[in-house]
Structure 1
């Protein structure tokens, strides 16, 4: 993902066809060593394609995927129809969530590790 992000940053800066050196420069600016194999894979997959078209295709694919918000809305409406019978279960889940707050939020993983 970091290679795609660096490619997009280079493209947004006006470079229509970012090369390996461009991506490497961006990654090294934030302290990341670039893996040539992965970097070349991203470049070869996006070579000759317009970033705007790739993003538009991706948005079309995302639009066809179900969203988690729809599931939450259905669950909420089901609780209302059931006369609030699901409310105690929701409170129990909420209490369990509070006990996990002391844990490490990033679980030892950083964005660019």
Structure 2
């Protein structure tokens, strides 16, 4: 991702076809080391292509990705409890309490950075 981001920064800066040395310079300016093999793969994939066209093609591919998910398991629990929903109510409260506790954690540092 860091290589693509640096490539896009170079393109935004006015260089339609940046070279590897320019990408290395951009990444080096923020203290990020460069793995030549990975940079080579990115450069090979983007060589001779218009960045706007690559982004547009990516958007089309992303449009076909399903965004829906399965219903939460907790929604099925009340109906599955034998003898009524009395047993399900305390379980739902416990799950709700657990969600509140875990929701208080900070999302600021999710274990990765822009240039990791």
Q: TM-score, normalised by structure 2?
A: 0.69
Compared CA separation, residues 96 and 47, structure 1 to 2 (3 A): same
Q: 2:100 aligns with which of 85, 88, 98?
A: 98
- What's the counterpart of residue 112 of structure 2? 110
The answer to which structure, 1 or 2, has the higher relative contact order (CA under 8 A, 6+ apart) is: 2
CA distance in 2, matches of 1:26, 1:15: 13
Q: Which structure 1 segments of 5+ residues have no match?
A: none
For residue 93 of structure 1, report the CA deviation from its aligned partner: 3.7
SS at match of 1:66: coil
Q: TM-score, normalised by structure 1?
A: 0.71
CA distance in 2, matches of 1:11, 1:37: 21
Q: Which structure 2 segments of 5+ residues have no match?
A: 80-84
CA distance in 1, matches of 2:92, 2:18: 49
Per residue, is there more helix in 1 or in 2?
1
CA RMSD after TM alignment: 2.9
CA distance in 1, matches of 2:106, 2:36: 35
The total of aligned residue pairs comes to: 101
Larger Rg: 2
